[in-house]
Structure 1
Amino acid sequence: MSRFISKEGQKVPNVIFRTRQNNEWVNVSTDDLFKGKTVIVFSLPGAFTPTCSSAHLPRYNELAGTFAANGVDSIVCMSVNDTFVMNAWGEDQEANNVTLIPDGNGEFSEGMGMLVDKSDLGFGMRSWRYSMLVKDGTIEKMFIEPDVAGDPFEVSDADTMLKYINSEAQAPKAATIFTKPGCPFCAKAKENLTKAGIHYEEITISNADVTSRTLRAIANANTVPQIFIEGQYIGGSDDLEKFLAK
């Protein structure tokens, strides 16, 4: 039997969070976060930890626009860390669309019944991994990770939450495009991606960091642009046009 009990239908804990904003201490209350709003909360064991950084936070950030289109006002990431750690993590990560809240004393996590002892890892008391949909301070739905050893990540992910909110919602496609400055074919490819509604990250080939050798290793190509969509290798500008025409 799981030690974690769903609190669906209940109010979120009434907590004051101590945050650091613009080099000043700012108290953020539960009402500030939830009153009159539809909010997604996902809570995790710690900033800078592998699963949290590689998958949990980035995907919620990536789907923020889709959540907003489906009635979500904000997305909150909660962790039992201090505000300095959470701020540094936010700067290091893809978190522009997510509000990072430090549950430094573990009061919110304890009130949710999600505070766990991770002393075996040297972490002390931390939050179990879960997500929830909160409407005007009342918990509508919770996705709690199974009570097993380790750090399971099966149900609190962004895609599961999106499917619950709207099973018909389509996550936007994401692309990566390798370019060089002044390349007209690169400009054309980026324009076509934008017209197709495909968000993209641009990686510029230069003498520093990502070089032509890197591009050959990844795409087995010497020319730019080189485009990947959702992990699928598309090719150059003409290949992109053929792909989009389908």
Structure 2
Amino acid sequence: MLFSVFMPNSRIAMLPNKEGQHVPQATFKTRQNDKWVDVTSAELFDGKTVVVFSLPGAYTPTCSSTHLPRYNELANTLKAHGVDEVVCISVNDAFVMNEWGQAQEAENLTLIPDGNGEFTEGMGMLVDKSSLGFGKRSWRYSMLVKNGIIEKMFIEPEKEGDPFEVSDADTMLNYIAPGAKAPEPITVFTKPGCPFCAKAKSLLREAGLRYEEISLGNGITSRSLYAVSGAGTAPQVFCGGQKIGGSEQLEAWLGQRGQ
């Protein structure tokens, strides 16, 4: 199956759906512990079940606000349903990918730089974004790969710009495990220097739960916190829009959740 994609001020590219085929053989130039380390396609995919999502560039709006963060949130859920690794591949260099991963706190993902576009070109997903000053980049897509063979691809549709409709983490999770429940979003209101806030965050990390932290200050006051939570003390933890409370209530909630 072929998808034609029109890029403004560029040629029409035909994007192939490669389900049933082997992933391209490529060598990725990564940086690990301040050293160059070559990682091959075989090392990434052989003998494993891998979810891959590919995007136009690190630090770009949709990639940073939605695409990567949601895969990071759902990575443990995907792994609970048979996925060994969740990989993000972008036509960026190793330094950019490493810095972006740290900025995004993407500890549940493996970020792979395809700096020369070798893998992306082999996938048939290398497109011309010269009109934006990007040069050659990846079209946005995701795929499920088992032992190097592509089982399923979700390729964004033929539209101008950067459509984001089918390569998202929730679509992939629904394909792998229909009906699986995604984790509810967690928000923690904290106060700088608060030991109970530090405890609450530690409890969530130990439980493998990602959270958004909103720290008091910069216009967010104890009065603001009271208006939201009915309490002016920090921390205050919310999950899926429901109030859990402070660190002691969180500890009890986590205990019940694990039963």
TM-score between the two structures when normalised by the length of structure 1: 0.84
Instruction: Give 2:243's aligned residue.
Output: 234
Kept in 1, the 8 Å contact 2:16–2:124? The answer is yes
Match of 2:36 among 5, 25, 28: 25
SS in 2 for 1:11: coil
Go from structure 1 to structure 2 and tell me whether the alpha carbon gap of 1:198 and 1:16 turns closer, same or farther (over 3 Å shift). Answer: closer
2:179 paired with 1:168: yes
Cα pair 2:238 2:245 within 8 Å, conserved:
no
In 1, the alpha carbon distance for the partners of 2:61 and 2:227 equals 26
Partner of residue 58, structure 1: 69
CA contact (8 A) 1:60 1:158 kept: yes
Deviation at 1:207, TM superposition (A): 6.0
Matched, 1:36 2:47: yes
- From 110, 114, 122, the equivalent of 1:103 is 114
TM-score by length of structure 2 reads 0.80
Of 209, 232, 235, 1:222 maps to 232
CA distance in 2, matches of 1:98, 1:217: 36
Q: What is the Cα-based RMSD across aligned positions, in Å?
A: 3.3
1:94 Cα deviation after fit: 2.8
Alignment of 1:133-212 (within 5 A): 133-179=144-190, 181=194, 199=209, 201=211, 203=213, 211-212=221-222
Q: Distance in 2 between matches of 1:92 and 1:148?
A: 30
CA contact (8 A) 1:175 1:198 kept: no
Are the counterparts in 1 of residues 89 and 111 from structure 2 also a CA contact under 8 Å?
yes
- Structure 1 residues 107 and 226 mapped into 2: Cα distance closer, same or farther (>3 Å)? same
Structure 1: gaps (5+ residues): none
The alpha-carbon deviation at position 23 of structure 1 amounts to: 1.0
Aligned to 1:88, the other structure's residue is in SS state helix
Could you tell which deviates more after superposition, 110-119 or 164-173? 164-173
Aligned equivalent of 1:72, options 83, 87, 96:
83
- State the secondary structure of the residue aligned to 1:199: coil
Match of 2:142 in 1: 131
Task: Determine if contact 2:187/2:214 at 8 Å carries over to the other structure.
Answer: no
Q: Residue 86 of structure 1 contacts residue 102 of structure 1 at CA under 8 Å; is this kept in 2?
A: yes
Alignment partner of 2:82: what SS?
coil
What letter is aligned with 2:169? A
Name the count of aligned residue pairs.
239
Residue by residue, what CA displacement relative to the aligned partner does 1:211-230 show, whole Å, maximum 9, x if unpaired?
A: 43653676575344433323
Q: Distance in 2 between matches of 1:56 and 1:132?
A: 14
Measure how far apart 1:80 and its partner are: 0.3
Determine the structure 1 residue equivalent to 2:9. Answer: none
Gaps of 5+ in 2: 5-13
